[in-house]
Structure 1
């Protein structure tokens, strides 16, 4: 990490804001924490290149916040991860700050809705950059044709999130008035807390424009994985209750989420490969291989084979690995028990089989698309999580969610159309 000791005017302003905030807390007249000022400075500078005096001031502020905990402390921990030597995937994506919005007792919206808001924010960033309305991540702005392609893919993904999006897809983003119409069509959360968290959770390592897109799409994926854990867990509960209807509904929710998640790769494919490789030089140590929620989803479907559990994929998520070694209940185990005990009628069994097959296929397509994109963007480069990169992803193509069923889940179209749940 490179740290300058010279304090530029922008860094000096952030230092003043942080000191002023601490003073306000001491004097009993607490001001708002300057999340947006800090975040926008990082977006103009890059987390890897922050001035040393600013890092010291951020650390002092963190010590001041430590007793109270909460979102301020999580925000500063993520921001100072490189300084602390704790830099990894979760902190790079500010997941400790975002996750409480959709996970846990204080969740305020669904994973699906947050994933949509994250992509809407990317579209907003692209449009405003196109028209010179901000100077964030200022280097390597994409050409108009790339912006149009991004908007096309992004708006397609947002069709389900706003009634106004479909009608806006024909608008010309290069025309200022039509760009304003596009901006107005994008979904915005009515919740101030959600808007605040979105504004404070893009901390790029560098200043290349495309890293904003990269971070937001990965955050969207992690949000989707959080939802997948919930859907898979509900499907497991349905199997144990011999409720074929609930089981199929939740399996379909999971498959639909994965199918739509695959569309996000089209957004990532618009990144400039050279720009990606450049900012990726500063992301070593943060990799999707560290995604806990993806592994929790995988584990809820079925305990992976021993070679998978002993691979870097689970070695990077020790808590999930410990859970796997304790032999948790899984969809695979519940399915085999239900089949053995003949808990479902013929039509119900076919419907459950069809749901499992659809989810397995969606997962395989998602992995295959990921591998194809990585091949294009990475080439022979190693992975940022200390893996072999593309060869590692190729090996993962053989992994199956439901490998332990020991039966062929291939369901014909006729069987699916004839399947029903009473």
Structure 2
């Protein structure tokens, strides 16, 4: 019997650059995280314990081991399930790049995630030896899935000034997009994509599920950065600039809409099969989404103390310590009639963003009902669709109507 590659790595002079990521990922995708053999988990735990001895940059390896051992450590959650520590999720607390650079990075990784999904679907069409073989969808479903995946990629490609001239036939278009996406893919990109796919099962559609949720996290991370900038702009009475930034944020959220059509190609049977192993990981634990929601306006007391916010204690703490919101910033300038005279651009931005977010919530609810029904709890005994129904029409901004009324009063 050949020696386990992690044991071989440990027996030598451990170097982070030479960690056997590839055979480790093959093992995870062959068994699924839920059924990973104990031998592998023990060796991965040993590798983590010996990180202080490891030479070379250790950030990626540390984050990978954090995600890989979450079930073994009994701390499996949404963040580790989606391997978010391995992805460049924008964050208003840590992202120091310009808005343009952050958006470009989000667009690039959006395309990388979707091209990886497309490549996985094409591999499964071409070979029975592709990973995650259980409950493979029929070819018509795959063709529909490829069409939606390509469509969901196009807005980011346009933002990156890439014109594909894609063929109409979905499989040909998908192959063309994957070839294009591989052209400038770096070794870091390849490692990030490879190690950020740690499915809990061997069900084919889980790959789709993970990649789409990761793409949503990228989008909401970018939106949190945008809304933080909007808060600052309103506080500085730069209302036209704030309105323009909100319009940009609304456009990004609308462009993420096709991801729902893509996710809707997931087979309900497949979802229910792998979902039994995701207990503890729920989308209500999304930190990026809670930041977006709470930056618009401070959540009501009941909402703040709900399971949604208890699952992101750092965001809950930010709110309790007086996190600035767009509503708060507007409160501070309501008495300044000169400043309020500049509100048309801001009101338009708020209206566009609120409409886009409400549409996102409604679509999320409809898909959840299709998969779970109207009374089913979410994963980890979270509220599920009843919670989504309660939240889907919650006002995004308290002040949107007030601003609209002010505009009407100013009209001749």
- Fold match by TM threshold 0.5: yes
Residue 327 of structure 2 is matched in structure 1 by 332
State whether structure 2 residue 349 is matched by structure 1 residue 360.
no
Q: What are the superposed Cα offsets for residues 81-100 of structure 1, whole Å, 9 maximum, x if unpaired? A: 11101100000000111136
Q: What are the superposed Cα offsets for residues 61-81 of structure 1, whole Å, 9 maximum, x if unpaired? A: 111115665221211111111
Residue 20 of structure 1 is matched in structure 2 by 8
**CA 100–364 in structure 1, closer or farther in 2 if over 3 Å, else same:** closer
2: CA distance between counterparts of 1:385 and 1:259? 30
State whether structure 2 residue 145 is matched by structure 1 residue 156.
no
Q: What are the superposed Cα offsets for residues 108-150 of structure 1, whole Å, 9 maximum, x if unpaired? A: 8622322222112111111121111852111111111111111
The CA RMSD over aligned residues, in Å, is 2.8
2: CA distance between counterparts of 1:370 and 1:376? 10
Structure 1's unaligned 5+ residue stretches are 1-11
Indicate conservation of the 8 Å contact 2:219/2:256, yes or no.
yes
Partner of residue 369 from structure 1, selected from 355, 359, 363:
363
> Equivalences for 1:21-60 in 2 at 5 Å?
21-25=9-13, 32-60=18-46
Residue 83 of structure 1 is matched in structure 2 by 72
Partner of residue 290 from structure 1, selected from 285, 288, 291:
285
2: CA distance between counterparts of 1:122 and 1:372? 23
2: CA distance between counterparts of 1:314 and 1:172? 41
Deviation at 1:180, TM superposition (A): 4.3
Task: Give the TM-score normalised by structure 1.
Answer: 0.86
Deviation at 1:351, TM superposition (A): 1.3
Q: What are the superposed Cα offsets for residues 250-293 of structure 1, whole Å, 9 maximum, x if unpaired? A: 10121112112222111110000011011000001100111111
State whether structure 2 residue 313 is matched by structure 1 residue 318.
yes
Deviation at 1:305, TM superposition (A): 0.8
Indicate conservation of the 8 Å contact 1:158/1:165, yes or no.
no
Deviation at 1:387, TM superposition (A): 2.0
Moved more, 99-108 or 144-153: 99-108
Q: What are the superposed Cα offsets for residues 362-398 of structure 1, whole Å, 9 maximum, x if unpaired? A: 1110000000000001124320042231111101113
Indicate conservation of the 8 Å contact 1:21/1:30, yes or no.
no
Structure 2's unaligned 5+ residue stretches are none
Moved more, 179-188 or 99-108: 99-108
**CA 340–308 in structure 1, closer or farther in 2 if over 3 Å, else same:** same
Partner of residue 215 from structure 1, selected from 205, 210, 216:
210
State whether structure 2 residue 127 is matched by structure 1 residue 132.
yes
State whether structure 2 residue 160 is matched by structure 1 residue 171.
no
2: CA distance between counterparts of 1:34 and 1:327? 46
> Equivalences for 1:385-396 in 2 at 5 Å?
385-396=380-391
Aligned residues: 397
2: CA distance between counterparts of 1:30 and 1:89? 26
1: CA distance between counterparts of 2:298 and 2:170? 49
2: CA distance between counterparts of 1:311 and 1:30? 41
Q: What are the superposed Cα offsets for residues 165-202 of structure 1, whole Å, 9 maximum, x if unpaired? A: 752241352x7xx7643532446654332221111100
Residue 278 of structure 1 is matched in structure 2 by 273
3-state DSSP of counterpart to 2:256: helix
Indicate conservation of the 8 Å contact 1:171/1:182, yes or no.
no
Q: What are the superposed Cα offsets for residues 15-43 of structure 1, whole Å, 9 maximum, x if unpaired? A: 621122223325xx876112222112211
2: CA distance between counterparts of 1:318 and 1:269? 31
Task: Give the TM-score normalised by structure 2.
Answer: 0.88
Q: What are the superposed Cα offsets for residues 318-369 of structure 1, whole Å, 9 maximum, x if unpaired? A: 11111111112111111222332235363x3111111001111111100000
Moved more, 220-229 or 258-267: 258-267
Indicate conservation of the 8 Å contact 1:383/1:389, yes or no.
yes
> Equivalences for 1:218-233 in 2 at 5 Å?
218-233=213-228
3-state DSSP of counterpart to 1:283: coil
1: CA distance between counterparts of 2:89 and 2:293? 21
3-state DSSP of counterpart to 2:219: helix
**CA 263–19 in structure 1, closer or farther in 2 if over 3 Å, else same:** same
2: CA distance between counterparts of 1:409 and 1:30? 55
